Amino acid sequence: MATAAYQIEGGTNDDGRGATVWDQFSSWPGKVFQGHDANVTCDHYHRLDEDLDLMAALGLKAYRFSFAWTRLLPTGTGVVNPKGIAFYNRLIDGLLKRDIQPWATLFHWDYPLALYHRGGWLNSESPQWFADYTRLVAENFGDRVRHWITLNEPQIFVGLGHVSGAHAPGLILPPADIARITHNVLLSHAQSVGILREHCGREACIGWALAIMPPCVAKEFESDPEVVHAASENMFSFSPSKNMVSGSSLWCDPVFLGRYPEDFVSHFERNLPLGWENDLRAISAKLDFCGMNIYFSSGFQTRDEDGNIRFVHPERTAPGAPRTLFNWPVTPTALYWGPRLFSEHYHVPIIITENGISGHDWISVDGKVHDPHRIDYTTRYLRELRRASSEGVEVQGYFHWSLMDNFEWAEGFNQRFGLVYVDFVTGERIPKDSAFWYRDVITSNGAMI
């Protein structure tokens, strides 16, 4: 199962933690649903032992979490906060004591506010800031953590944070600035990988996690090679538009192929730093896996009544198709086509680092939380992932999002993704029906799906 520091920890003003861009963003009227903030959220910072025992009771074999950058380095650089080091030592040691493998994410969106005031990802020094932070983490925890994720969803924290302004830090920047940010983010990832290799040794397993909304092939055309090819072209094309950061190729071509898309270079080379070509060697350093956060498909590749290949939105192929509380379409084959197309294009092992559903969850009159929709959703998606694996896609793992209900960014507490229900007033945890079901899935290694 998976979580992120900002979404569950709380304790934003406790024990020397520094401010983040999300602390500032949440304080702006109208930015977060009903003015919610993450000052307490699940209070994981103060209820760590309780949550560790809960993970053990649910049979977790691996737990994906993130470090809060400003809990370790309150201003993003410089003076280290020993209480932050102590907290993550307790977390990691507590996981290992319970035979739960720690999977650590270095950056899950909670950028230090002090560094944002120095230009944030636009600053050419930002890769060095991230490198210094990575070195601190590796030196303190690399003796026990073997599995690492450098960045979570650069498409989202750049796109929603710096293009649309819907997420922190709430900026709406021109494409030229987005090109600079993209290069700085990729270089930050690259430097982080190098430091993890240096400090964590040959046993280190290193990747990153991308937001993927893959095109799927309509069921009746799955054996049509032209339609499948069109889906792949759709997934890995690049357009120098306002939304250029939302796709896969801008991020993955440099990392897995050692080059930027040609159209990106032709439009934005003048906005990249001198010597950017030399950075590509470091950016394309080998990863052990690519994490994919997949919740739904962007649409379906199909043929129309005249036999022409078309791409259509899920609602167009099936009017009234199911949707989650987040209004996301339920498209289980995304967990087949995403890994398959990605594996065929980049030839890299896949781990599903996030997949889950926000639903209408509440405590029933019997005191329990019944969520058959989540069990059904996850069953359907896992079956498709197993299909991909059975056909030769190298799928190395699956993390369900999320362990517990939490602060869902600009949605505040309006969305419940957890297998464990959280009362955000009292802090009480109540495992939902899906939690016990998922425990059995883990025990059977998916055989019951």
Judged against a pLDDT cut of 90, whether residue 219 lies above it is answered with yes
Name the burial class of residue 225, with classes exposed (0-12), middle (13-18) and buried (19+) by CB atoms within 10 angstroms of its CB. exposed
List, for residues 117-173, the tens digit of each pLDDT value.
999 999 999 999 999 999 999 999 999 999 999 999 999 999 999 999 999 999 999
Q: Please, are residues 290 and 346 in contact by the beta-carbon 8 Å criterion? A: yes
Strands in 56-183 per DSSP E: 62-66, 101-107, 147-152
Residue 433 counted as domain residue: yes
Q: Please, are residues 419 and 438 in contact by the beta-carbon 8 Å criterion? A: yes
Kindly give the residue spans of alpha helices, DSSP state H, lying in 244-355.
249-252, 262-268, 276-283, 314-317, 334-346
Distance CA(198)–CA(236), nearest Å, equals 32
Residue 335 counted as domain residue: yes
Distance CA(193)–CA(183), nearest Å, equals 15
Q: What pLDDT is stored for residue 313 in this prediction? A: 84
Distance CA(27)–CA(29), nearest Å, equals 6
Confidence of residue 206 (pLDDT cuts 50, 70, 90): very high
Distance CA(88)–CA(125), nearest Å, equals 27
Residue 449 counted as domain residue: no
Q: What pLDDT is stored for residue 162 in this prediction? A: 98
Residue 333 counted as domain residue: yes
Q: What pLDDT is stored for residue 319 in this prediction? A: 77
Q: What pLDDT is stored for residue 280 in this prediction? A: 98
Catalytic residue among 153, 198, 305, 315: 153
Judged against a pLDDT cut of 90, whether residue 28 lies above it is answered with yes
Beta bridge partners of 293: 211, 354
Distance CA(417)–CA(403), nearest Å, equals 8
Mean pLDDT of 361-368: 98
User: Dihedral through CA 388, CA 403, CA 131, CA 247, nearest 10?
Assistant: 40
Distance CA(444)–CA(449), nearest Å, equals 9
Number of domains forming the structure of the chain: 1
User: What range does the domain containing 249 cover?
Assistant: 5-443
Judged against a pLDDT cut of 80, whether residue 181 lies above it is answered with yes
Q: Are strands 309-312 and 299-303 parallel, antiparallel or unpaired?
A: antiparallel
Catalytic residue among 198, 315, 344, 354: 354
Q: Please, are residues 231 and 334 in contact by the beta-carbon 8 Å criterion? A: no
CATH of the domain at 47: 3.20.20.80
List, for residues 233-259, the tens digit of each pLDDT value.
999 999 998 889 999 999 999 999 999
Q: What pLDDT is stored for residue 439 in this prediction? A: 98
The dihedrals phi and psi of 136, each to the nearest 5 degrees, come to -60, -45
Residue 448 counted as domain residue: no
Confidence of residue 317 (pLDDT cuts 50, 70, 90): low
Two tokens, residue 301: 């590749």
Distance CA(432)–CA(54), nearest Å, equals 12
Mean pLDDT of 76-85: 98
- What percentage of the chain carries pLDDT values higher than 70? 99
Confidence of residue 202 (pLDDT cuts 50, 70, 90): confident
354 annotated active-site: yes
Q: What pLDDT is stored for residue 345 in this prediction? A: 98
**Mean of the per-residue pLDDT values for the chain?**
97
Confidence of residue 62 (pLDDT cuts 50, 70, 90): very high
Two tokens, residue 118: 């120095």
Distance CA(411)–CA(124), nearest Å, equals 32
233 annotated active-site: no
Residue 45 counted as domain residue: yes
Residue 178 counted as domain residue: yes
The lowest-confidence range among 82-86, 312-316, 434-438 is 312-316
Residue 202 counted as domain residue: yes
Mean pLDDT of 47-55: 98
Q: Are strands 420-422 and 429-431 parallel, antiparallel or unpaired?
A: antiparallel
Strands in 4-83 per DSSP E: 62-66
Q: What pLDDT is stored for residue 316 in this prediction? A: 66
Judged against a pLDDT cut of 70, whether residue 111 lies above it is answered with yes
